[in-house]
Amino acid sequence: MSCNMYSVALAGNPNVGKSTIFNSLTGMHQHTGNWSGKTVDMAKGTFTYKDSVFEIIDLPGTYSLFYSSKEEQIARDLICFNEYDCMVIVADAVCLERNLNLVLQILEFSGNSLLCINLMDEAAKKGIEIDLAKLSDILGITVIGTSARNKEGLDELKKNLLFLCENNSVNRSGTDISEKKKKLDGLSTDIAADTILEKSSRIYNECVTLIHNDYDHTDRKLDRLFTSKITGYPIMLLMLLGIFWITIVGANYPSALLSEMFDSLKVPLTDLFVRLGVSDTVKGIFIDGIYTTLTWVVSVMLPPMAIFFPLFSLLEDSGYLPRVAFNLDKYFKKACAHGKQSITMCMGFGCNACGVTGCRIIDSPRERLIAIITNTFVPCNGRFPGLIALITIFFAGAGTETGSTFKAALILCLLILFGISITLAVSKILSKTILKGIPSSFVLELPPYRKPQFIQVIIRSILDRTVFVLGRAVVVAAPAGAVIWLTANVYIDGTSILNICTDFLDPFASLIGLDGVILTAFILGWPANEIVIPIIIMTYMATGTLTDYSSLAELKFLFIDNGWTITTALCTMLFSIVHFPCATTCLTVYKETKSIKWTCAAFIIPTLAGILVCFTANIVLSIAL
């Protein structure tokens, strides 16, 4: 039996639920965001309805066909100069008047369109009534109301899509491009723009009834709380503190269980290698090197990511995250950087590679490079375990469990604020030197506050973020494990390569408050930040393999016996915050910039900044103490 094939494009403003409709129709799990320009790349998917196959294309969100950013230009070109069997224009029921501006523009170019008014459930809660039938008569196209998050109205959407595609009378050979450009030029005049805005307002007033004129009262009240100069910043810091505290407390037990499980598997694996007659060198590389490194990365990295990413996604899904960008925008403006850099910085808390990828939302190439180069100053999940261990050992004290973890979370927040300060300082320096320029303007929409979809958010964040990031870390950590084992077990004149490296680096490391072992651990930990502390332990204990520790008290004694002081601990934490990006992030930087030059800059600039910070801290503490 043959199937009909149809192409359908989803167009609309940002934050109207296009990606949610796309995911619901196709079953694909593309991440949905709450800020302008999130869908930078065009996403495609298919679904089948009554023996017909529909290819859905999720176009980048745009406010107008007259673009002011790269993603809006992509959307404009795809809307105006591509032919589809049907164009689905998605609008927000709560912000319909503004959305109608784009709807009227698109209707000038798309002859077979359908208007899908999404978020009807939110409109109903706010007392907004929309006469869909009257709106359909005025626009001359089919209008459907949906609540995609609740799967409501999607069946009707499919039914109407099939009807429109089967009865499409549009000439698929295409209209002359020059004629479309002339029409677009005509729409771009001030007179035409004013006419469209006036028409949008008139249509809205005819079709929409507001039961409560102050329907957005709650949102504005919350905005006065979350974006106020007085309360906005303390709330932002408290939320950050809360997320870190929950992550620290929640990750301890699953990390310990995973570590025990992997350790129990190590014995039968070793026995298997012995029975197979594998040499000690090969066994050491695979068991003590690759397996031990991989299992350490998984047991240390997976639990905090599985907690942090869902919490971060809940803030995003609730509509709070754009308020963070709004609060921080003026500081990035003073640094001659882009306000959206604050969003990419937040993404870096989970993984710097994800933060670098997120820099695509910044249209200016200059400001995008600044955001990419400085993203590593935000500590990722891979650096949290080492930071937390050192904070707990040397600064948080040995009080009650709750008191200790809260103090650790507070100190971690202070370190992160320091990282943010370094981000702004380096952004300012870059914008005044090798990346000169004036900061560009941008539109940051503050979407309505919404009740997060807890189950969907958790599943999405685990699949799309946690598993994805962990997979990349594992791929990079595997060869690193082999290299680490070889450096610790290959000897030259009775001294291991690892010890030769630590002795060579010790004089320089002492200048920045570290020692040769710590600096070597950071270098060998380049593939994955999670293994820096284990390498330090392995080198001090001369075990030849990554070593766990049974308690923080034992680890403190080990460090002190090897010459650690408060200065050493603080400089190690500062260098962990301000140093070169990991291998996965460097690879991502190259993929995003397609430039060896800027990839090297993204590695060298944070490294120099870290050396300067630690050198200064070492001098100051030496005088003070």
What is the DSSP code string of 327-359? HHHHHHHHTT--TTHHHHHHHHTT-HHHHHHHG
| Domain covering 4-215 in this structure, CATH number | 3.40.50.300
Strand 128-130 relative to strand 208-210, pairing: antiparallel
CB atoms within 10 A of CB 175: 15
The predicted pLDDT at position 625 comes to 74
Q: Which residues of 112-151 are buried (b: 16+ CB within 10 A; e: fewer)?
A: bbbbbbbbbbbbeebebebebeebbeebebbbbbbbbbee
Provide CB contacts within 8 A for 35, sequence distance 6+: 14, 15, 321, 322, 325, 340, 343, 361, 444, 445, 447
**H or E element: which one contains 145?**
strand 142-145
Which has the closest alpha carbon to 477: 269, 296, 281, 254? 296
Mean pLDDT by 10 residues, the chain (625 residues): 81 85 74 41 80 88 73 75 88 91 87 90 89 94 91 92 81 59 66 80 93 78 88 87 79 81 87 87 86 79 79 81 81 82 81 84 83 91 80 71 69 88 93 78 70 75 71 74 86 89 94 94 86 83 70 81 93 94 90 91 96 95 85
Domain ranges, ordered by start, for the chain: 4-215, 232-624
Q: Which string of DSSP letters, residue by residue, matches 275-295?
A: HTT--HHHHIIIIIIIIHHHH
Question: Which sign does the torsion angle of CA 12, 13, 17, 19 carry?
Answer: positive
How many CB atoms are closer than 10 A to CB 184?
17
Cβ contacts of 555 within 8 Å, gap of 6 or more: 389, 393, 537, 549
Residue at 581: amino acid letter: P
**Element (H or E) spanning 130, and its range?**
strand 128-130
Which residue reads 């065009």 in tokens? 42
Q: State residue 580's pLDDT score.
A: 93
Contact yes or no for 114/77 (Cβ under 8 A): no
Q: 113: which DSSP letter?
A: E
CB within 8 A of 231, min separation 6: which ones?
225
Task: List Cα–Cα distances, 120 to 129, 133, 151, in angstroms.
Answer: 9, 15, 11
Cβ(308)–Cβ(248) below 8 Å:
no
Of the candidates 91, 60, 86, which has an alpha carbon nearest to the alpha carbon of residue 73?
60
What's the pTM value of the predicted model, to 2 decimals?
A: 0.72
Query: Would you call 182 exposed, middle or buried from its count of C-beta atoms within 10 A (0-12, 13-18, 19+)?
Result: exposed
Sheet harboring 113-118: ordered strands across?
Answer: 43-49, 52-58, 4-12, 86-92, 113-118, 142-145
What pLDDT is attached to residue 122? 87
Closest of 111, 36, 15 to residue 325, by C-alpha: 36
Name the residue with tokens 């190259």: 590
Instruction: Decide: 255 and 303 in contact? Cβ < 8 Å.
Output: yes
pLDDT at 208: 92
Three-state secondary-structure class, residue 495: strand
Is the separation of the CB atoms in 38 and 61 below 8 Å?
yes
DSSP 364: -
> Helix crossing, 516-524 with 566-577: angle to 10°?
20
Distance of CA 324 to the CA centre of its chain: 14
Q: Which residues of 298-331 are buried (b: 16+ CB within 10 A; e: fewer)?
A: bbbbbbbbbbbbbbbbbbbbbbbbbbbbbbbbeb
Residue 50: CB atoms within 10 A of its CB come to: 10
Largest CA distance in the chain: 89
Supply the pLDDT for residue 404: 67
Burial of 464 (0-12, 13-18, 19+ CB in 10 A): middle
CA separation for the pair 461, 311 (Å, rounded): 9
Count helices and strands (H / E) in the chain: 27, 10
Name which of 160, 152, 148, 146 is nearest 54 in CA terms. Answer: 160
384-390-396-398 Cα dihedral, nearest 10 degrees: 120
Q: How far is residue 583 CA from its own chain's centroid?
A: 17
- Altogether, the residues listed in the chain come to a count of 625
Instruction: Please tell me whether residue 46 adopts helix, strand or coil conformation.
Output: strand
Cα-based torsion angle of the residue sequence 385, 386, 388, 394 in order, rounded to the nearest 10 degrees: 160
β-strand partners of 113: 87
Residue 594: partners with Cβ closer than 8 Å, 6 or more residues away: none
Tokens representing 591?
A: 């993929």
- Token pair listed for 524: 């060998």
Cα–Cα separations (whole angstroms), residue 468 to 309, 358, 436: 12, 15, 35
Q: Which residue has the tokens 């996403």?
A: 43
Q: Which tokens in the block code for residue 47?
A: 């679904």
Structure tokens at 186: 């005509």
Distance CA 417, CA 422 (A): 9
Give the distance, in angstroms, between the CA of residue 65 and the centroid of all CA atoms in the same chain.
27
